[in-house]
Structure 1
Amino acid sequence: VALEQELGPFPFSSFWGPRAGLPSSEWIARASARVLRDEKPDLLLVYLPHLDYQPQRTGPSGCDMKTLVGELDRACQPLLEAIDATGAATWVVGEYGHTDASQPIYINQSLRRAGWLETRDGPYGEGLDTFGSRAFAVCDHQVAHVRVRDTADIPSVVEHLSGLDGVAEVLAGADRARVGLDHPRSGEVIAFSRANAWFAYPYWLESKRAPDFARTVDIHRKPGYDPCELFVDPAITFPMVKVARKLMARKLGFRALIDVIPLDASLVKGSHGLRATTDADRPVLIGSGPAPADEAVDATAVLPMLLGHWGLGK
């Protein structure tokens, strides 16, 4: 509450959705600077999302990355000043690098056509029947976790997915340990896309049967990540007029969804999730310690490095 009184409400629409951009990172940086100065925490984790948006919309090759990085640098200035004032050690940890990826893989539609995925008709479109489905995929960028109800179906599911255009590799059972994903919360089958492709979550076969949330920003009801939420449907002539009408309807007490998100996954031009094959695609680690490494640092090594910096060991 105190942060919002000083900085204003968090600009959520710029954190995710068609208007996602710099204001959310600016707000987070200012808020983090205040927390660092006033609270002096032992550890402050700050997520600055600015570089996550445009590379997905246009692909990294379609971005002016120099400009985007400069914008983020300037947004960080209040935080950097607070760091200097408090003497805090600073670590910049990149999560991932984006790659150009313009081929959506409709893995759930394929599972449905093969008879493994089931849906239920409802008043607001088709819903995914997770309990009735023999197999369905939870899509996360270039990785898909496929839940298979009956282990006897796993070989057939693996064979089917391996034949999909855009799929590079499919793992199941103990083979998942090779990528560190052999644990109960993983899908029984895990699929990886090729570098220029990514997994789209839609399971409906006709646009008119898409559930109402498909055309909205709704990260909780969609069975997978949906980068289409970064776009406004180009088929809508005056999208802001439509949004204004919907907001007015809400104020009057009506159920009104802000349904301006496109269903066309081909609009997306960038993704991530695969192990990087070139230095240009890798994230970076910049820190007050450790000493620079001659080789790439594994992402799982970041925590031990932080603990070592504080002298905490394992």
Structure 2
Amino acid sequence: MLSNPLIRMIAQRLALGIVLLFAISLVIFIGTEMLPGDVAQSILGQSATEQSLANLREELGLNQPAYVRYLDWVGGILQGDLGTSLTNKQDIGSMIGTRLGNTFFLASVAAVMSVPLAVLLGMIAVHYKDGFIDKAISMSTLGAISLPEFFIGYLLIYFVAVQLGWFPSNALVHSGMSLMEKLYAVALPATTLTLVVLAHMMRMTRAAILNVMSSAYVETAELKGLSSFKIIFHHAFPNAIAPIITVVMLNLGYLVVGVVVVEVIFVYPGMGQLMVDHVIKRDMPVVQACGLIFAATYILLNMTADILAIIANPRLRHPK
């Protein structure tokens, strides 16, 4: 079955992703072990005695060697068990369930806003290449990407939420809300994420389309008298899709992984907010689980980008 070159390449990407995820799990575990602070001290407070701290560390399993705790953690994950929170004794999987859904919802809304807009702006920029509209689009998107997420978020809170009162500054969502209520609540954080990733996708779309505009089939279409935008949309864009898919998937990965700052700014009940809260509490199992899920999501989207780029490239689909 693996004799097919396309299937073999996909299998290689999947195997590499699994190996990479195990390597990242080790980095996450070592990184959290190096963080300062003591969860036992955080639970019992500053007035706790050394004996009570030692008893709690033993109860939580913190006295075991680091490699034993890492193997126990990875073994549990392979069995579908993310572990138990040290601070509240709750199952981490159940704690993460709703938060993960909220994070994916926010990232999905931002993706629905940013991807079509970036592709459309990229094609418009090619249509008006080196003109005023092209320069205006490039300058405005570069201006947006040069600002950090927290600055864009606070600007939107001040002008849109406080001054104009159009949307809430706190993006609080819960299971009882309708879809429209949730969309209204996440309007500002989704806009913040959209502005952050828009420029990169737009510029890659523009560069990829311009790269094929000098091809013979594009010149043939021009000689047939087709309009410039029709040539871009029907002839240049489909043949530039592979690099566009790659950059779109990478930015989708950022939308999921990069929501931590945005969720904290807008008090959004997602994975990022959960991870920050438990970093403060020094609840490392929760932090490790959140970090591993973020890493797995990013790796999965990167593998998807590779596979889609292979499928979209005829030279890779049908190698000689």
Q: TM > 0.5 between the two?
A: no
More helix by share: 2
More strand by share: 1
Bigger RCO of structures 1 and 2 (CA < 8 A, at least 6 apart): 2
TM range (shorter): under 0.3
Structure 2-normalised TM-score? 0.25
Instruction: Give the number of the structure whose alpha-carbon radius of gyration is greater.
Output: 2
